[in-house]
Amino acid sequence: MNKPWLVILAVMLGGSIIKYGILQYLIFSPVIAVIIDLLVFSACYLTLRRYPYIDLKRSMQFIGVIIALEILFDLGIINELIREIVFFILIAWGISKQGGSGGPPRQRHKWHK
């Protein structure tokens, strides 16, 4: 696992600890939970933007689906079982699509032959 993904994992875990560990016992509001999710999403974007070798579009789509599931769960639109099923399907899709198109990785520049 690369360093940027460890940072993203730490940001997501930190957001979950704040949302479910601290704020749930003080004052839990779906609006505050959505704001925390959007802050986590923006922190993930700022982290991934610094690394040119990461496919920003695909990575943000993957993280965006995870954050969207969290927002739907926080608002009470979906229940926990549906969230977990979709999350595991997303993880399986991410593992099966590791190489992108299935072929060798595209060269970024002509001189990287």
- Domain map (residue ranges) of the chain: 3-96
DSSP assignment of 73-90, as one string? HHTTSS-HHHHHHHHHHH
CA–CA distance, 87 with 54 (Å, rounded to integer): 22
Q: Return the higher-pLDDT residue of 30 and 111.
A: 30
**Stretch 12-39: mean pLDDT:** 86
pTM of the model: 0.75
pLDDT at residue 19 is higher than 90: no
Average pLDDT, the chain: 83
pLDDT on residue 43: 94
Task: Give the pLDDT confidence score for residue 108 in this predicted structure.
Answer: 64
pLDDT score of 27 more than 80: no
Q: What is the pLDDT of residues 54-108, one digit of tens each?
A: 888 988 998 999 999 999 998 989 998 998 899 899 888 878 865 555 555 566 6
Cα–Cα dist 110/93, whole Å: 31
